[in-house]
A and B are shown apart, each in its own frame.
Chain A
Amino acid sequence: DIVMTQSPDSLAVSLGERATINCKSSQSVYFSSNDKTYLAWYQQKAGQPPKLLFYWASTRASGIPDRFSVSGSGTDFTLTISSLQAEDVAVYYCQQYYSTHYTFGQGTRLEIK
């Protein structure tokens, strides 16, 4: 299995400040043959199903605000919220699909400081 490890497990950020969430895979999720990185990000608010934020590591899903951005390559990736809004309080997950045994990170809980 490809193990996905997120850090930190939780963080508290002030409104308007930057939030950064990290995701590390136990092996590269980049496939050189097609130059694609097999990583997705999700946001899960309390009592709701997860919502797709990004796929192919950096393709923004429909309707996702541009204060959300991603970076990274190979095994190390970062999700950044440039200016935290109250509605961004949620648990964030990364997911690899390089292996067809899809796996998720353990989640990072984002709260308002």
Chain B
Amino acid sequence: QVQLQQWGAGLLKPSETLSLTCGDYTGSFTGYYWSWIRQPPGKGLEWIGEINYSGSTNYNPSLKSRVTISVDTSKNQFSLKLTSMTAADTAVYYCAKSSGSGGLYNWFDPWGQGDLVTVSS
């Protein structure tokens, strides 16, 4: 069954802002952090950042200046915005549950299905 469902625009032009949203259907939204992770085509995984129910965030320092992760507790959803997109940001973007003990220091399980985001003029 679907546990995390994600959606958002898949084709962007350079300098535009990426916007993705992920909905939680695991039934445990309030107790955990929720992450965004990306994977350039044919490459490895890069963690982008995470947010909890209260809106506390933890960002990858290398992306922090361009990233905003927000939460909509009424819908059990969390969203990613990444500004000033370039071709280097072309990747499959995944949402995931940060599955530690409810705080920081997390592994990821489950994952959303992934969305390919392409940046091209």
Question: In the complex, how many angstroms separate the beta carbon of B26 from the nearest chain A beta carbon?
Answer: 13
A100 to B107, CA, bound (A): 10
**CB < 8 Å: which of A38, A50, A55, A61 contacts B45?**
A50
* B76 lies within 8 A of chain A by Cβ: no
Chain B contact residue count (CB 8 A cutoff)? 22
Chain B residues near A93 (CB, 8 Å)? 44-45
Write the residues of chain B forming the contact surface with A, with a CB cutoff of 8 angstroms: 44-47, 58, 60-61, 94, 96, 99-100, 104-114
Which DSSP category, helix, strand, loop or mixed, fits chain A's interface? loop
Q: Is the CB of B113 within 8 A of A49?
A: yes
Stretch at the interface among A13-21, A69-77, A82-90, A104-112: A104-112
Chain B residues near A106 (CB, 8 Å)? 44
Residue of B nearest to A47 (CB): B114
Chain A residues near B44 (CB, 8 Å)? 93, 104-107
Q: Is the CB of A103 within 8 A of B94?
A: no
Q: Is the CB of B45 within 8 A of A97?
A: no
* Count of CB-CB pairs between chains A and B under 8 Å: 53
Across the A-B interface, give the 9 residue pairs with the lowest CB-CB distance, nearest first. Answer: A49-B111, A40-B107, A52-B109, A104-B45, A102-B47, A55-B107, A100-B104, A106-B44, A107-B44
A99 to B104, CA, bound (A): 9
Given known contacts A49-B112, A49-B114, A55-B99, is B46 in contact with A104 (CB within 8 Å)?
yes
Write the residues of chain A forming the contact surface with B, with a CB cutoff of 8 angstroms: 38, 40, 42, 49-52, 55, 61, 93, 95, 97-98, 100-107
Looking at B47, B94, B107, B110, which has the most chain A CB atoms within 10 Å of its CB?
Answer: B107
Chain B residues near A98 (CB, 8 Å)? 105
A38 to B109, CA, bound (A): 15
- A100-B104, A100-B105 known; 16 new pairs, CB 8 Å cut-off, are A40-B107, A49-B111, A50-B108, A51-B109, A52-B108, A52-B109, A55-B99, A93-B45, A97-B106, A97-B107, A100-B58, A102-B47, A103-B47, A104-B44, A104-B45, A107-B45
Q: Is the CB of B105 within 8 A of A38?
A: yes
A42 to B113, CA, bound (A): 15
A38 to B104, CA, bound (A): 12
Q: Is the CB of B99 within 8 A of A101?
A: no
